[in-house]
Structure 1
Amino acid sequence: MENPIIEGSCRERDISYKFLAEHTELSELEAGIPYKEFFFHSKARDKDLEFRVLKRITETRKHAECLVENSAMTCSMNRYADILPYKDTLVHVPGYSYINANFVDGACSGSEQMIIATQGPLHRTMEAFWAMVWEYEVSLIIMMCNLLEDGMVKCEEYFPSENNIQCDVFEISLAKSTNKYPFLIERVLIMTHVPTQETRIITHLQSTAWPDQGVPSLADEFSSINYMISLIKKKWLANRSKIVVHCSAGIGRTGVLVGIFNVVTALEELLEKEAEDENVEPRVSIFGAVRRLREQRWGMVANVKQYKFIYKFMEYWITSFLSHQQQIGQSL
């Protein structure tokens, strides 16, 4: 039986789902895999083929017609000319004409538009970025890139490292910086609206291990990714404030993290329901999770290597979960 947090259409426009509905032979790609069978299925699936299908059905002419036009105004505010946001999920910031950012739904119940997926700020878009953070009461920013990679600037240093940063009517200061994991920096930022002196505390996580267009060592980053997932959940559940996730373009590494978060939280919700009702079958659909992300921001999870990484992460996650459950059973 179809479950909207595992397989099925987005809340609003979903071009690729209509295509799947018309081609039942492909709809099996989205069908959820029972989590206890996931490892076997993951090894057996042709992920290269799956990703080719994903690109084919989510990068169509109809999708392109939904993108913001690459005008003279928007062009100067896009880090990459070919990475444009969808119009219907576009984030609007009062006082600013445009920002390359999209709202993305979480996978668990009641988590519509919980995530803002965006590009790494440019110098000219820093003010709009911080105005967006303030407008949507963002409590957590996750940065999935370095400022400089392979000699190329991937993101402006939009956050303070020592001195305070002034962005229009906002001042941002650094209260604390710690290395949570070898490649994960956690900063506590204080954002002040200067005219009113209202302040907010924002957590800033920067993961430095993910190469552009690539993936990190899962053995090294599994705990770090789990920490990011847990903090997203904690911040969202605390007050329903938006979560900003970005890398350089805001689709590759950003898409992988958001995809993993959605798959994990959807599975956790079903596992909780299974504990109350044995007729509930917890399932996983990597294809479905990524397909829906790509309907909300163009090109999310940019290549097959990143797509395979989500599968690999869930193999680790489910194996760890089942091992933990077995240990609990043995201790009773």
Structure 2
Amino acid sequence: MRGGIREKKGYLLEKSSFKILFFGYLKGDVQQTASQKSLVSSQFSDGPIPSPSARSSTSSWCEEPVQSNMDISTGHMILSYMEDHLKNKNRLEKEWEALCAYQAEPNATTVAQQEENTQKNRSRTVVPYDHSRICLKGENSHDNSDYINASPIMDHDPRNPAYIATQGPLPATVADFWQMVWENGCVVIVMLTPLAENGVKQCYHYWPDEGSNLYHIYEVNLVSEHIWCEDFLVRSFYLKNLQTNETRTVTQFHFLSWNDQRVPTSTRSLLDFRRKVNKCYRGRSCPVVVHCSDGAGRSGTYILIDMVLNKMAKGAKEIDIAATLEHLRDQRPGMVQTKEQFEFALTAVAEEVNAILKALPQ
């Protein structure tokens, strides 16, 4: 499976605030390579790991290579600026304090707090705003309700959300989850949590391990489960609406090594994971479903990284990462929950620039 992603960007730095301004042109080519094997194997580039199910397939994991013709001096200037920001802990602390003091307006959550809906929320604090929530079609819902704990996340186009940030499904909300996927035309799901951590359930197992499961009027068939490396795997589902007999293929990218309230041990695997997600998603206009347990901490961090890097790839004239996070919090409360997660997002952006630099002819 091979493909490329073309990126355009150039840079000019403004030292007075955490901004990256863009002026030039960059063409990057991200090549994805992986063997799609149908046979079960336990051989990995980083050593053997057990197959999670009999239907799993595996491959020798090869990190997504990055190629670019970005100007070397410009790239080093960006990287130096990012690293300086990360090393200046006092500056980072003040920026995080300002972000914590930020209040979204409007911020009413009356629908989410209604008695019939509170049982559908994993968290009391992470619930969708009234003005920014995904509404299901009540006539197609198993309980005639339009509520789901999910928020549309807009980037630049207010008519077309780039993401849907949502909590991990509960046993009582699995049918709602698949209804949301269906009604919003979603074909990619990004899952950022294990099903349980230290005996605490983080997300209900909302897909079949083999064969098919029926969730209200939505039949979900597991087509394949492909292990890329010890950090993430990819599942393919065949989703069928039994009311209309229409079908759709949905791909779930499951990142396994990101614990709640923490950050991954390194940016490398998450950045490669992101490249694979975007390779699958390229050219589509539907929102990407992103969820962890509550749909805010890990989900917000991933969306922040992806949104900033996508803006860069599209040749945006100005990037302000703190302002981008405020933009996310305008649409869903609690996005990026800890200073460590915010710092990880900054590090990931710097590492992606570094990866481009390393791919350049020196």
Q: TM-score, normalised by structure 2?
A: 0.73
Alignment pair present for 1:47 and 2:92: yes
1:171-192 per-position Cα deviation (integer Å, ceiling 9, x unaligned): 1010000111211010000001
**Matched residue of 2:102: which SS?**
helix
CA distance in 1, matches of 2:279, 2:109: 30
Does the Cα contact within 8 Å between 2:297 and 2:336 map onto a contact in 1? Answer: yes
Tell me the residue number matched to 1:228. 274
CA distance in 2, matches of 1:286, 1:78: 29
CA distance in 2, matches of 1:110, 1:321: 31
Alignment pair present for 1:148 and 2:196: yes
Does the Cα contact within 8 Å between 1:140 and 1:232 map onto a contact in 2? Answer: no
Does the Cα contact within 8 Å between 2:112 and 2:147 map onto a contact in 1? Answer: no
Tell me the residue number matched to 2:300. 255
Does the Cα contact within 8 Å between 1:114 and 1:241 map onto a contact in 2? Answer: yes
CA distance in 1, matches of 2:229, 2:174: 27
CA distance in 1, matches of 2:112, 2:151: 15
Alignment pair present for 1:191 and 2:239: yes
Alignment pair present for 1:32 and 2:28: no
Alignment pair present for 1:306 and 2:351: no
1:66-100 per-position Cα deviation (integer Å, ceiling 9, x unaligned): 56451201101111122111111111110232001
Alpha-carbon deviation of 1:159? Answer: 1.1
Alignment pair present for 1:174 and 2:222: yes
CA distance in 1, matches of 2:353, 2:94: 24
Q: Which moved more, 1:286-295 or 1:206-215?
A: 286-295
Alignment pair present for 1:86 and 2:132: no
Tell me the residue number matched to 1:99. 148
Alpha carbons of structure 1 residues 261 and 203: separation in structure 2 relative to 1, 3 Å: same
Alpha carbons of structure 1 residues 82 and 114: separation in structure 2 relative to 1, 3 Å: same
RMSD value, Cα? 2.5
**Matched residue of 1:175: which SS?**
strand
Q: Which runs of 5+ in 2 are unaligned?
A: 1-15, 22-76, 139-144
Does the Cα contact within 8 Å between 1:67 and 1:84 map onto a contact in 2? Answer: no
Alpha carbons of structure 1 residues 50 and 100: separation in structure 2 relative to 1, 3 Å: same
Tell me the residue number matched to 1:161. 209
Does the Cα contact within 8 Å between 2:207 and 2:213 map onto a contact in 1? Answer: yes
Alignment pair present for 1:239 and 2:284: yes
Tell me the residue number matched to 1:206. 254
Q: Which runs of 5+ in 1 are unaligned?
A: 1-27, 274-279
Alpha-carbon deviation of 1:229? Answer: 4.1
Does the Cα contact within 8 Å between 1:165 and 1:172 map onto a contact in 2? Answer: yes
Alignment pair present for 1:287 and 2:322: yes
Alpha-carbon deviation of 1:230? Answer: 4.5
**Matched residue of 1:116: which SS?**
strand
1:106-141 per-position Cα deviation (integer Å, ceiling 9, x unaligned): 36x799412000000011111111011010110100
Count of aligned residue pairs for this structure pair: 286
